[in-house]
Amino acid sequence: MIELIHINEYVYLKDVDIYFSEGLNVITGETGTGKSLILDVIGSFLDYQNIRSETFSADMVLNLDMDFDEIGIRRGQHIFSVERKNKRLFYKVDGRLIGREQVQNILSNIITIHKQNSHMKLLDKDFILEVLDTVADNYELLEKYKELYENYQHVLKIIAGANKDSELKKLEELREKVNEIESAHLSEEEEQELEEKYKKALNLQTLLQNYSSVSQHLEEIENALRKIYSLIEDKYYEFLDTAVESVAELSNQISKELSKIEEMNLEEIENRLWVYKKLRRKYGPTTEDVIANLQKWLEEIKQIEKTIKILENAEEERLRLESELRSLAIQISERRKNAARNIVKSIERHLKDLNMNARIDFYFNQKDMARDGIDDVELVGSTLSTGPLYPLRKIASGGELSRLMLALELSLASTDVLVYDEIDAGIGGVTAVKLADKLSELSKKHQVIVVTHLPQIALKADKHLSLRRTGDTGTVVELDERARDEEIKRMFGGEEFIELLGDFASKENKRKGK
C-alpha cells in the first residue's frame, strides 16, 4: 500500500505530506483546487505522466509485500523518489538511482490508476483485446505466436520479393569477390612492410655503393688497428681490443645489410604491391575497407544461402508456419472467448448494482491472421431486455460508458492499490450511492484512493483528505469528524440545500401519511 506521498514541489503544492491508510481514501476539494495534481504525482511513477510543471520532485513511501530481487529490494517499507530536471525524469529507490523502466515495472504491478474519460477506451478494440488477454492469461501464448508470426512474415517477404535464379546469381558474384580477396591474404601490416621495402629498393644502387665503401673502410681500419699492437705497451691492449671488436662487429652488421640488399627482389615487391593497389581500386579505397567489405560480403553470403534454402522449401515452410500460427491463434481466441463470458457475467452483475440494467457482450469477428491473432473484437450492448446488441460507440451515452467502464474495472481489479480520478463524472442520485457502496466493498481487499465530487462516496471514506488552495499555495488536510461533516455539507450544497432537502422529506412524509 501507499503510506505517504511527500510533494517537494509541484505547481502550487510545496512541501506537502499526504498520509494514506488502508481501505477507502477519499480526496475532495472545491472545483479548481487541482485535486488531480495528486494523481499526477502518483502517475509520474508509472508509465503515463502528465507533469504540468518544469520543476517537480516527490517521494512516495510504499509498503511492499514481496521481494524484487532484480534491483535488490526486499519486502517492507521503501521510499520511491522522482525528480524532473532538464525535461527528464530521474528515479531513486531508498536514495539509490534506479532506471525508469525498472521502477515502472515494479509499480505497475502494485498500482493501477483509472483516469477521467478512461471510459473512452471501451471503444478501442486494442484495449478490449488487452483486457481479454489479461483475464485469459494469454501472454505466454501471445509471445510464442508473435515470434512465429515474425518468421511467417519473413518467409512471405522472401517469397514475394526474392527469385531463386537472381539470388544464385548474386551469390556467385559475391563468392567471386570473396575468393579474390581471400586468395590475396591481405593484411595492413604486410602492406606497410612492403612499402618500406619498396622505398629502400628504389635506393638500392646508392645503398650498395655506400655499404660497400663502408665495408672497405672498416677493413682498412681494422688492419690499421692490428698494426698498433706492435707499437704500444701491453697495458694499452685492453683499449685496443675493445676498438678492434667494435669495428669487427660493425663490419659484420654491414655485411648482413649488404646480403639483404642483394637478396631484395624489386620486381617481386612491385608485383605484391600491385595486388594491394588493384583490390583497393576495386573494393576500397583503403585496404582496411577491402577487409571490412570482405566480412560484410561473407555475412551477405550466409543470408543469401539461408534465403535460397527457404526458397527451395518456401511453400512447405509457409504452410508449416501457417498451420502452427492458425493452431495458436485458435487457442488464443478460445481463451479470449472464455474470458469474455466470465467478464460479461461480472460486468452485468456490477452494472445492476450501479442501477443500470443492460445486456453486454463481446462480439467476435474473425479476421486474417495479424500480429495480435485472428480476433476483431468489439464491445456491444443494449439497455433493452430483448432485441439485438449494438456497438457501444453507437448507443451508449457518456454516463452509461462511465458506468460500464467502472463495472469493467471492478471486474478486473487486480493490483493492491487502485486509484480513481473522478470516475463518478456524470453519476448522481441513487447510482452515486450504489457506486459508493461498490468502492467501499472494493476497499476491503484493496487500498482505494478516490478523487471525487460526490458526498455519497465521501461518506464511506476510511480517511478523508481535502485539498485546499489559497492564492499560490495548496495544502492537503486530513479531516477530523467535525471538519469532515462540514466538507460533506459543502459537497451536498451547503446548509441551505440540506434544509431544503429536510423540508422536502417532511412534506413527502406528510403526503404519504407518515
Place of cell 450492448: 381
The confidence band for 141, taking pLDDT boundaries of 50, 70 and 90, is: very high
- Please indicate, yes or no, if residue 379 is contained in any of the structural domains: no
Q: Does the model's pTM come out above 0.85?
A: no
Q: Which range (101-115, 269-283, 296-310, 495-509) has the least confidence?
A: 495-509
426: pLDDT strictly greater than 70: no
Contact of 231 with 281, CB cutoff 8 Å: no
What mean pLDDT comes out for the span 480-495? Answer: 83
CA distances from 383 to 128, 152, 291, 349, 396 (A): 20, 44, 73, 14, 9
- Please indicate, yes or no, if residue 386 is contained in any of the structural domains: no
What mean pLDDT comes out for the span 256-269? Answer: 70
Residues 354, 348: Cα–Cα separation, whole Å? 10
348: pLDDT strictly greater than 80: yes
The number of folded domains in the chain is: 2
Contact of 422 with 399, CB cutoff 8 Å: no
- Please indicate, yes or no, if residue 335 is contained in any of the structural domains: no
- Residue-wise pLDDT for 299-331, tens only, equals 999 988 887 877 777 778 888 899 999 999 999
Q: Are residues 186 and 301 in the same domain?
A: yes
- Residue-wise pLDDT for 1-55, tens only, equals 899 999 988 888 888 999 999 999 999 888 767 777 888 888 888 866 677 777 7
Q: Is 306 helix (H, G, I), strand (E, B) or coil?
A: helix
- Please indicate, yes or no, if residue 504 is contained in any of the structural domains: no
- Residue-wise pLDDT for 164-186, tens only, equals 778 788 889 899 999 999 999 98
Per-residue pLDDT at 265: 66
The confidence band for 160, taking pLDDT boundaries of 50, 70 and 90, is: confident
Q: 426: alpha, beta or left, given left = phi > 0 and alpha = psi -120 to 50?
A: left
Per-residue pLDDT at 263: 62
Contact of 458 with 432, CB cutoff 8 Å: no
Q: Which of 261, 284, 309 is the last residue of a domain?
A: 309
Residues 195, 276: Cα–Cα separation, whole Å? 11
101: pLDDT strictly greater than 70: yes
Contact of 449 with 417, CB cutoff 8 Å: yes
CA nearest neighbour of 23 among 450, 351, 488: 450
The confidence band for 505, taking pLDDT boundaries of 50, 70 and 90, is: very low
CA nearest neighbour of 15 among 480, 474, 479: 474
- Does 317 or 92 have the greater pLDDT score? 92
Per-residue pLDDT at 425: 64
What mean pLDDT comes out for the span 124-143? Answer: 87
Q: Spell out the residues 6+ positions from residue 46 whose beta carbon is closer than 8 angstroms to its own.
A: 104, 107, 108, 111, 113
Contact of 363 with 419, CB cutoff 8 Å: no
How many Cβ atoms are within 10 Å of 306's Cβ, its own excluded? 11
Per-residue pLDDT at 461: 92
Cα–chain center distance at 174: 38
- Please indicate, yes or no, if residue 378 is contained in any of the structural domains: no
- Does 17 or 122 have the greater pLDDT score? 17
How much of the chain exceeds pLDDT 90, in percent?
21
How many Cβ atoms are within 10 Å of 349's Cβ, its own excluded? 13
Q: Are residues 104 and 201 in the same domain?
A: no
CA distances from 311 to 31, 320, 323, 418, 466 (A): 67, 14, 18, 53, 69
Host domain of residue 266: 168-309
Residues 7, 61: Cα–Cα separation, whole Å? 11
502: pLDDT strictly greater than 60: no
Q: Which range (15-24, 212-221, 298-307, 389-398) has the least confidence?
A: 389-398
Q: Are residues 106 and 175 in the same domain?
A: no
- Please indicate, yes or no, if residue 399 is contained in any of the structural domains: no
Contact of 29 with 13, CB cutoff 8 Å: no
What is the arrangement of strands in the sheet containing 13-19, beginning at the earlier edge strand?
Answer: 96-98, 88-93, 76-85, 56-64, 2-10, 13-19, 473-478, 463-470, 24-28, 447-451, 417-421, 111-114
Q: Which of 309, 327, 358 is the last residue of a domain?
A: 309
- Please indicate, yes or no, if residue 128 is contained in any of the structural domains: no
Per-residue pLDDT at 358: 80
Per-residue pLDDT at 200: 74
The confidence band for 503, taking pLDDT boundaries of 50, 70 and 90, is: very low
Name the residue type at position 428. Answer: G
Q: Are residues 182 and 99 in the same domain?
A: no
The confidence band for 264, taking pLDDT boundaries of 50, 70 and 90, is: low
217: pLDDT strictly greater than 90: no
**What CATH number is given to the structural domain containing 461?**
3.40.50.300
How much of the chain exceeds pLDDT 70, in percent?
86
Question: What is the DSSP annotation of 115-175?
Answer: -TTGGGGGG-HHHHHHHHHHHHT-HHHHHHHHHHHHHHHHHHHHHHH--HHHHHHHHHHHH
- Please indicate, yes or no, if residue 501 is contained in any of the structural domains: no
Q: Which of 249, 284, 309 is the last residue of a domain?
A: 309
395: pLDDT strictly greater than 80: no
Q: Which range (103-117, 268-282, 355-369) has the least confidence?
A: 103-117
Q: Are residues 200 and 300 in the same domain?
A: yes
107: pLDDT strictly greater than 60: yes
- What the block records as the C-alpha cell of 317 is 515452410
- Does 497 or 344 have the greater pLDDT score? 344
What mean pLDDT comes out for the span 209-229? Answer: 81
Residue 149 dihedral angles phi and psi, to the nearest 5° = -65, -40
Question: What is the DSSP annotation of 346-375?
Answer: HHHHHHHHTT---EEEEEEEEEEEETTEEE
Per-residue pLDDT at 99: 86
- What the block records as the C-alpha cell of 135 is 483475464
Per-residue pLDDT at 442: 86
Q: Are residues 94 and 196 in the same domain?
A: no
Per-residue pLDDT at 386: 85
Per-residue pLDDT at 119: 54
Which pairing describes strands 473-478 and 463-470: parallel, antiparallel, or unpaired? antiparallel
What mean pLDDT comes out for the span 105-119? Answer: 74
Q: Which of 124-128, 137-141, 352-356 has the highest mean pLDDT?
A: 137-141
The confidence band for 268, taking pLDDT boundaries of 50, 70 and 90, is: confident
Per-residue pLDDT at 79: 93
